Structure 1
Amino acid sequence: MNEQIVRLTKIVKIINVMFVMMKIYLLASQRLKRRWWIRPVNLTRNNLSFHHTCFAQLKLKDEEHFFKATRMNIEKFKVLLTLLRGRLQRFSKREPINEETRLGITLIYLSQGCSPQYLAWSYKMGLSTVRKIIYETCDAIWQELHEIYLAQPNQTEWKNIADRFYVKTGMPHCLGAVDGKHIKVICPKSSGSLYYNFKKTFSIVLMAICDQNYSFVFVDVGALGSQSDGGIFARSAFGRMILRNQLEIPPDDNLPGTDKIFPYFFVGDNAFPLRRNLMRPYPGRNLSTGKLYFNKKLSSARVHIENTFGILANRWRILHTTINAAPVNVDKIVLATVVLHNYLMLDRNGGYFDPSLVDREENGIFTPGTWRQSSTDMRSIRISHSNRSTMEAFTLREELTDYLLDNNGA
């Protein structure tokens, strides 16, 4: 009798488990059930979408507005499409979305900063389809181009950058300017205050170095906005290489016109630590003539990174917005804009770079770049008060100050 009761109890438990599983299955089926596979309005995609009615006509008849939509001329677009075609090609039972449409959607999203929902209506696609296209294309752009247009320089290339910086700004042995910017994002799910920064917004950080031609040399993206600025720098790939002397920079060499050996270095503002290979300005007021002159020369080199970020945000308006995407996809979007910037900066006649965009000084008159006229949500990282410097770094800065003062006007 007892054995029968035990068996019946087990059978009842199995039936209850099966009932619960069936209920879960039915609920999931209701959630996944679609009213239609393709919305009726999207069935006319191949004839009446934005790509066929407007984008194709811009490419054939209106290069000016095509440039405004994509930030590149038609020839550069065709070259980019050729480079990416293999990564963007898709195969399916239904007719897949072609590579040109995928690239066009992504470039318009990056250049105009418009919402994916608006693009979904314009291109007669589902919202999830448009988002997936944007993220996949941004990733393809980075994967295909970064080894060519954002490769880490070798010693000879670093030396060439330093020589050009010296000719342009008068700052010797300068390998580039470094700075960091906060990229505003929608608060990621279940992230708490990890991305909450000092401006009381949510962000990730883009750390970058530029050369004398306003092109990026090194980038690191993805640091949490809540981190202290000293922590952001120390944890970035570039910061670790600087602090551990792991960059393949040229060995110490003579300062121009002297027999004094001096290391090569990067320049940054007061948010960065003073190191043997990283110079920052003298803090405070009532500085001596030599220190003021040093700060002026350092600023003339450091302003290049401000202008580089200015051009980037001016051309790719998505960086002016609060990006609504998961952090991993925000990284893809930002990296795509950076490598596209370098890709287009190589052709100074392509329209992407305009000299009026950057700060310039003619006949002693300073003219700010036009990028400063447009507001941007790319905030610089804060001044950090926790950076400790070595005596060697202080001594080197004093030596460089004396050299600049001695060669003032030379």
Structure 2
Amino acid sequence: MTFVRGISRKLHHVMQMDDSLLILPFMQDPSNLGEILQDALNHYYLVEKLFVKQCALAEANTEFMAEYERLNDMEESKQIHAFPKSEEDWRLIAKDFEEKWNFPHALGAVDGKHVRIIPPANSGSFYFNYKGYHSLVLLGIVNANYEFILVDFGGNGRISDGGVLEYTEFYRRLISNKLNVPKHATCEDLPFVFIGDEAFSLRENFMKPFRQKNLTEDRRVYNYFLSRARRVVENAFGILSARFRIFHTAISLKPDNIDAVVMACCVLHNFLRRKCASSYITAADLEGSTTEDNPLVGLRIGHNRNCSLDPKSVREMFVSYFRVTSTT
């Protein structure tokens, strides 16, 4: 409650609202926190002097992050943004994916989005992306419950294809086998993998769909199940941008402050998803309608390097698995 009340006071100062409008309803009924924050953000975007208030909201989010770090020793706080640290943690995520989305041994759905910014002075084309505007790249890994288990933000917009993954600490740990990913499969000898779209490179531990050209029926079935499971990350980004309207405009702040705002929004997303899911996420969000007008643009499908036979053979293992399970 401490960090929620802290950001509420800051928002009150920014919007010149009555403090009771934000704090008292939450104290009376914590379940409607999502509605309170949503109303506050809606009001914030209806007032005048958007740029000034945008900066003030950045300060509010920065304050939230500071408050959140001070609570980091609390077990409840750890659960909001906890990254899996053991094989058991990863197995629990994989179990959720199999039970909810029928994709076995999935450790997370990966995607990246461009966050529109006003570039710093004298930055030239450093942040200029393939869509024709300046951006920073937000890479997210999402579990089966639409929660971010990892967020990496700050890659410049010029890195506009799957290569953005290779610049992250997550990727360095993945290829060096330092993520404690389970090594012993239990389901048709399938390995544990992350899943993504065509923008990423195929690896032994990272699956993506086949190209649409000349698809066999078995590969079409595999694409269906992978895309169905991977949709959670698309929906998570759609929900994030629909609830936090700062993503609907070019953010005009210093890069460090942009980082604080975006990371705070992702933490708030996880918090609201767990604490008041019914008011934070609607049926339309889960059906994917929020992704249709999502201002966060996806990564470009690039010319990925040819992979070795091992990743291809792993993908064919999943093809065989779905061929069997879809006919039984």
- Native 8 Å contact 2:33 2:276 kept in 1: no
Out of 151, 162, 168, the position equivalent to 2:82 is: 151
Moved more, 242-251 or 60-69: 60-69
- Native 8 Å contact 2:241 2:294 kept in 1: yes
Counterpart residue identity of residue 225, structure 1: G
- Native 8 Å contact 1:113 1:319 kept in 2: no
- Native 8 Å contact 2:41 2:244 kept in 1: no
> Which residue of structure 2 aligns with residue 386 of structure 1?
304
1:160-207, Cα deviation, whole Å (9 max, x unpaired) = 111111111211111110000000000112211110000110000010
Q: Taking structure 1 as the reference length, what is the TM-score of the superposition?
A: 0.68
Out of 277, 283, 289, the position equivalent to 1:370 is: 289
Counterpart residue identity of residue 133, structure 1: E
Q: Distance in 2 between matches of 1:327 and 1:392?
A: 40
For these two proteins, the number of residue pairs brought into alignment is 308
CA shift for structure 1 position 56 = 2.4
1:194-244, Cα deviation, whole Å (9 max, x unpaired) = 100001100000101111110111110000111242331110122222333
- Alignment RMSD: 3.0
Alignment of 1:358 with 2:286, yes or no, is yes
Q: Taking structure 2 as the reference length, what is the TM-score of the superposition?
A: 0.83
Out of 230, 240, 254, the position equivalent to 2:162 is: 230
Give matches, 1:30-45, under 5 Å. Answer: none
Taking a change above 3 Å as real, the CA distance of residues 58 and 398 of structure 1, as seen in their structure-2 partners, is closer
Alignment of 1:56 with 2:20, yes or no, is yes
Secondary structure at the residue paired with 1:209? strand
Q: Distance in 2 between matches of 1:149 and 1:141?
A: 14
Secondary structure at the residue paired with 2:204? coil
Secondary structure at the residue paired with 1:261? coil
> Which residue of structure 2 aligns with residue 207 of structure 1?
139
User: Which structure 1 segments of 5+ residues have no match?
Assistant: 1-47, 73-106, 122-126, 360-368
- Native 8 Å contact 1:58 1:66 kept in 2: no
Q: Distance in 2 between matches of 1:388 and 1:246?
A: 25
> Which residue of structure 2 aligns with residue 344 of structure 1?
272
Identity of aligned residues (%): 31
CA shift for structure 1 position 142 = 5.4
Out of 137, 140, 152, the position equivalent to 2:63 is: 137
Highest CA radius of gyration, 1 or 2?
Answer: 1
Give matches, 1:25-174, under 5 Å. Answer: 53-57=17-21, 59-60=23-24, 68=35, 70-71=37-38, 108=41, 117-118=49-50, 130=56, 133-134=59-60, 136-140=62-66, 143-144=69-70, 147-153=78-84, 154-174=86-106
Alignment of 1:244 with 2:176, yes or no, is yes
User: Which structure 2 segments of 5+ residues have no match?
Assistant: 1-11
CA shift for structure 1 position 50 = 7.3
> Which residue of structure 1 aligns with residue 211 of structure 2?
283
Taking a change above 3 Å as real, the CA distance of residues 214 and 141 of structure 1, as seen in their structure-2 partners, is farther
